[in-house]
Amino acid sequence: MPDSSPFPTNFLWGAATSAYQIEGSPLADGAGPSIWHEFAHTPSRVRNGDTGDVACDHYHRYRDDVALMAELGLNAYRFSVSWSRVLPTGRGPLNPRGLDFYQRLVDALLERGIEPMLTLYHWDLPAALDRLGGWLNPDSAHWFADYAQVLFRALDDRVKLWVTLNEPWVVVDGGYLHGVLAPGQRNPYAAPLAAHQLLRAHAAATQCYRAEGRHQIGLVVNLEPKYPATETVADLDATMRADAYWNRYYLDPVFLGGYPPELADIFGPAWPDFTADDLDALRQPPDFLGINYYSRQVVRHDPSDWPLAAARVRQPRNTHTTLDWEVYPQGLTDILEWVASRYGPLPLYITENGAAFYDPPQAEGPIADPLRQRYLHDHLRAALAALRQGVDLRGYFAWSLLDNFEWGHGFTPRFGLIHVDYATQQRTCKASARFYAEVIRSHGSHLIDV
């Protein structure tokens, strides 16, 4: 290994996707509807009325997509399983044809030497379970563990990296507090209860895996470092509140067995009285942690911001993506070091990192995406900086392999390394994909040279 490339030899170079965002055919072959299917089919919930009915048609084109991964030299791929394909009503009868899709996908990956990282829950709860209260129902932890067990038994012989939940923060903040994501609730009393059941679900599935799994199980969280806009007490306090809510909410319980104290102030009367036993039961440290990193927040106290009173101060000198997310690579180094010092040492993966910048809907020839390429370059360098500081970073997954259905924003923002023409389903590698392939081929040395 050249000196200039400190990436460990077994470093995973991957890309990530999720089921509802790419698969299409959400009701095919006996699958049941998910909350995202219903949400997208509810008028005015998703921009342009876009839905995941077809998306990237990955359900039928997965072999071609795996071939593209191999062409780029990826040695890992993170995807999620649609719960309601496997168990159409969330519990009870198995749908063998749904499960079979994931068996075939995993086999296709392994044939190409691509390590699967399987996420059990990337936001698409079976609609039948939502009718029973979804993540507000205390039984949801058991529903989830039973579902997880079906997957463990079917695939643990081939899948070595398991993820329980993707970004519980987003599930709760978007789905139960602000109502902008499925299931669309806007209720401060519901949010902390949903968070608690999600954490119980993580614990239950992890325990189940410890009993019968042979490899590793982890959790994926979205983290966003918080920096105070000024040194005033008000801004420093707001920064702590934002940090508690965004970064420590789901990690403190899992690693330390308690919620950050700031949450009781943030939620006020809506904060439940958890008992010591409730909290103890959440302490279920994962074998590894996945971190999704996109941006940072410069924070200032602002009473009009609900419920945190902590507003984002836009940094006009820095580049912003089409979703107006500030590009700030240093934040990735900072957050990796923070996680390692607060909860570590433990194996870490960057399970998502990427940017939406404008690309044309049709690809006529190669697609130049210099801003995305620069984003990738700078964030890989930031990851390298953390590695050099001794962080146990085991892999990097770009978000996303393909342009796809970006939730409430529909298909407008394009995050892919590979362009998708939604009219023809044609895939075209963007320049950022070629750049990433070169980084992988040179085992990171290319990052130093350009």
Enumerate the active-site residues: 167, 352
Question: Site for ligand FCB (CB under 6 A): which residue of 95, 222, 284, 297?
Answer: 222
User: What is the crossing angle of helices 190-212 and 140-155, to 10°?
Assistant: 30
Contact call for residue 206 and ligand FCB (CB under 6 A) = no
By C-beta, is 19 or 154 nearer to ligand FCB?
A: 19
Nearer to ligand FCB, 168 or 444 (CB): 168
User: Tokens 């296709």 label which residue?
Assistant: 108
How many other C-beta atoms are found inside a 10 Å radius of the C-beta of residue 42? Answer: 12
Residues 6+ apart with CB under 8 A from 371: 319, 321, 355, 357
36 contributes a contact to ligand FCB by CB under 6 A:
no
**Phi/psi-derived region of residue 8, left when phi > 0, alpha when psi is between -120 and 50, beta in every other case:** beta
Binding mask 51-90 for ligand FCB (x = CB under 6 A): ----------------------------------------
357 binds ligand FCB (CB under 6 A): no
User: Does the footprint of ligand FCB cover residue 399 (CB under 6 A)?
Assistant: yes
Please state the closest distance from residue 223 (CB atom) to ligand FCB, in A.
11
- 166 binding ligand FCB? (CB under 6 A): yes
* 3-class DSSP assignment, residue 224: coil
Stretch that binds ligand FCB, among 1-9, 35-43, 166-174, 389-397 (CB under 6 A): 166-174
Shortest separation between residue 94's beta carbon and ligand FCB, angstroms: 26
Q: Quick check: 352 binds ligand FCB (CB under 6 A)?
A: yes
Q: In terms of C-beta density within 10 A (0-12 exposed, 13-18 middle, 19 or more buried), how is residue 209 classed? A: buried
The answer to whether residues 105 and 79 touch, using CB atoms and an 8 Å cutoff, is yes
5, 119, 292, 297: which one binds ligand FCB (CB under 6 A): 292
Looking at 284-424, which runs of residues are DSSP E strands? 288-292, 297-301, 310-312, 348-352, 393-399, 418-421
Which residue's CB is nearer to ligand FCB, number 69 or number 281?
69
The CA–CA distances, whole Å, from 444 to 116, 372, 396 equal 21, 17, 12
Adjacent-strand bridge partners of 78: 16, 117
Give the one residue of 65, 167, 359, 369 binding ligand FCB; rule: CB under 6 A: 167
Of positions 110, 170, 236, 431, contacts ligand FCB by CB under 6 A: 170
Q: Across 122-215, where does the E strand assignment appear? A: 161-166
Nearest alpha-carbon partner for 295 in 271, 325, 251: 325
415: contact with ligand FCB by CB under 6 A: yes
Using rule CB under 6 A, residue 406 touches ligand FCB: yes
Q: Which residues bind ligand FCB (CB under 6 A)?
A: 18, 21, 166-167, 170, 222, 292, 352, 399, 406-407, 415
